[in-house]
């Protein structure tokens, strides 16, 4: 296995201003874990990024860097564990699912809410189970593991800042659970993709996200879209609705989509999907050229949009592919 350490709480060290990444610290901690010598665990090689990043500092270029770290070692290793901070782990997991085209081996993202060096850490179990998952030959996609639950990476979202059960998959059942035994939901697993593995270079595409709120005005949206924004994830109410009191809001959106900006409608609700034909507010978004994000998480929609815009497709093709299930990220 390749154990790719990008940073995050799991390998952090306590300092005068709180926990922070520390080069070499994780390697020293792993050397003191006797369970890693168990013959039932796969052997692994630690790959430590320089610099190590708090996940709040992650950017699209870092998603591509992780994808390339997998690609460079793809023929030498049977599986990959990516150690990552939990704050933006759902974004990275979704991004990797799109970037790693032709993936036929497991890529498991994991982390911890308490560092490995602390007494009450959740890192040990997360790390050990992730190594076991990465060694499986029946798992061939990007997934996320924490606290006994195996999730599809591009279906996950962080729901707790303080609990060990930090992630959930609101619109897709877990891929499996880790109790006394590791149980995978076989009917839900994606088949290996046809190779060879390739990584899409991500372009510096200007994208934005906006969560609607009571009292939102078209001036705010106009300012946001005034710059050359290529894509926007619009988090709307309920089943995909927007307020109608400010008529100019739909005009601003219509002008943006006419210029080629791809606007994707995602619901603010944790569960459920967008249906722009259910209410007038949703139908008017559709008339303005906004497309449905179905039941994608906001993280999946944003990373998918950046990925598609990096492929140099025309606007119509980007919109078409945004609404297709490409990596298990949405329910068709």
Return the active site residues.
9
How far apart CA 1 and CA 44 sit, in angstroms, is 4
DSSP state of 309: H
State the DSSP code for 244: -
Question: Is the sign of the CA dihedral 174, 175, 179, 183 positive or negative?
Answer: positive
What does the alpha-carbon distance between residue 222 and residue 231 come to, in Å, rounded to a whole number? 14
What string of DSSP letters covers 221-241? Answer: HHHHHHS---EEEEEEBTTTB
**Structural contact between residues 178 and 149, judged by C-beta atoms closer than 8 angstroms:** yes
d(CA 162, CA 159): 9
Reported as type and span, the H/E element at residue 64 is helix 60-72
CB-based contact 267:273 (threshold 8 Å) = yes
Task: Provide the token pair at 203.
Answer: 């372009």
Beta pairing partners, 150: 145, 176
Q: Can you point out the beta strands (E) in the chain?
A: 2-7, 13-15, 18-20, 45-53, 80-83, 100-101, 107-110, 142-146, 149-152, 157-158, 167-168, 176-178, 182-184, 198-199, 207-211, 231-236, 262-267, 291-292
The residue count of the chain comes to: 332
Round to whole Å and give the CA distance between 25 and 82: 16
CA distance 63 to 80: 15
What's the angle, vertex CA 213, arms to CA 210 and CA 218, rounded to 5? Answer: 70
């Amino acid at each position: 296995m390749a154990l790719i350490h990008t940073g995050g709480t799991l390998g952090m060290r306590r300092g005068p201003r709180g926990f922070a990444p520390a080069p070499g610290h994780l390697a020293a901690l792993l050397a003191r874990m006797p369970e890693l010598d168990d013959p039932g665990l796969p052997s692994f090689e630690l790959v430590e990024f320089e610099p190590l990043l708090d996940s709040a500092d992650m950017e699209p270029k870092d998603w591509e860097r992780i994808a390339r770290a997998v690609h460079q070692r793809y023929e030498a290793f049977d599986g990959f564990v990516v150690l990552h901070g939990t704050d933006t782990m759902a974004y990275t997991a979704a991004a990797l699912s799109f970037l790693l085209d032709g993936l036929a081996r497991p890529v498991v993202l994991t982390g911890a809410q308490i560092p490995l060096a602390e007494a009450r850490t959740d890192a040990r179990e997360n790390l050990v189970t992730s190594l076991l998952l990465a060694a499986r030959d029946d798992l061939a996609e990007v997934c996320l593991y924490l606290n006994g639950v195996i999730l599809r990476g591009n279906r996950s979202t962080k729901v707790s800042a303080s609990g060990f059960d930090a992630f959930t998959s609101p619109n897709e059942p877990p891929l499996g659970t880790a109790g006394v035994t590791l149980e995978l939901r076989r009917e839900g697993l994606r088949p290996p993709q046809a190779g060879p593995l390739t990584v899409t270079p991500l372009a510096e595409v200007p994208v934005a996200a906006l969560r609607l709120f009571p009292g939102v005005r078209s001036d705010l949206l106009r300012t946001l879209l005034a710059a050359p924004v290529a894509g926007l994830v619009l988090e709307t109410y309920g089943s995909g609705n927007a307020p109608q009191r400010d008529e100019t809001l739909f005009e601003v959106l219509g002008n943006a989509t006419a210029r080629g900006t791809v606007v994707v409608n995602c619901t603010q609700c944790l569960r459920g999907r967008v249906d722009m034909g259910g209410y007038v507010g949703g139908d008017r978004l559709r008339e303005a050229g906004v497309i449905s994000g179905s039941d994608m998480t906001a993280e999946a929609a944003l990373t998918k949009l950046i990925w598609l815009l990096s492929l140099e497709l025309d606007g119509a093709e980007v919109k078409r592919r945004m609404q297709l299930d490409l990596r298990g990220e949405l329910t068709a």
